[in-house]
Amino acid sequence: MQDFDYEVIRRPRRKTVGICVKPDQTVQVAIPKRFPLAKVDALVRGKADWIRRKLAQYQDIQEQYKPKQYVSGETFAYLGRDYRLTVVEGAETPINVRQKTLQVGIPHDLSPEKRVLSVTKALEAWFREKAQLHLTKRTAWYTARMHVAPASVGIKSYRSRWGSCHTDGRIYFNWRIIMAPPSIVDYVVVHELCHLAHHNHSPDYWRLVESVMPEYRTARGWLKQHGHGLEL
């Protein structure tokens, strides 16, 4: 018995059927343009056990990342390490870091909605600043060893990617990656720098990634499993 729904998407350039279970627990089946719909259900039934295992895995991960309330005592990850939030009422101040504590000051007598907004605004500003500094530094470290030269390095707020490399050499990183462990951040840096040589995900591209970071598959797997939890 099938206890999950799935979406069928026709891809004109696909040659084979691909089944993808996403972190949001949706199931997509990508099929070639002329593949008979009547055959899809049988293929999905044949992969049902695998799909259920992936759905259960993502459900377990989702339960680990409960929505934040932005109150003192909650933890936020920076470079893979947890920092405890301390909210101090009095005056709006930038975040102050003390012994793995993120201390943020907010004005007195804010409504619950404005209180959350004030804290999240301060947290995002702090994470963006740290991301710009750290990613610029790590990009410089790898460019010296890879003998490549990006035109610029910037920070953006992507929803479904960790970075991008433009054909003119501009590289942008998702500031949320700064929450991940250092090795994962480095993988994203290497991933984008390798696109300066190959603007695709061809076998040559992945060989270049592996030559710089032999353990890249571990980092890529970590992102697939935990990446959606890198949120404020």
Give me the CATH number covering residue 152: 3.30.2010.10
131-141: average pLDDT: 97
Beta strand 152-156 with 170-174: parallel, antiparallel or unpaired? Answer: parallel
Residues 85 and 49 in one domain: no
Domain-terminating residue out of 17, 35, 64: 64
Kindly state whether residues 210 and 101 are assigned to the same domain.
yes
Total-model pTM: 0.76
Do 57 and 142 lie in a common domain? no
Q: Is residue 147 very low, low, confident or very high in pLDDT (cuts 50, 70, 90)?
A: very high
How confident is the model at residue 64, as a pLDDT? Answer: 66
Residue 218, both tokens: 């571990």
The residue among 162, 227, 224, 154 whose CA lies nearest residue 190 is: 162
Residues 90 and 14 in one domain: no
pLDDT tens-digit map of 174-219: 999 999 999 999 999 999 999 999 999 999 999 999 999 999 999 9
Number of domains forming the structure of the chain: 2
Residues 57 and 79 in one domain: no
Q: What is the pLDDT of residue 220?
A: 95
Q: What are phi and psi of 126, to 5 degrees?
A: -65, -45
Same-domain check for residues 124 and 205: yes
Instruction: Give the model's pLDDT for residue 153.
Output: 96
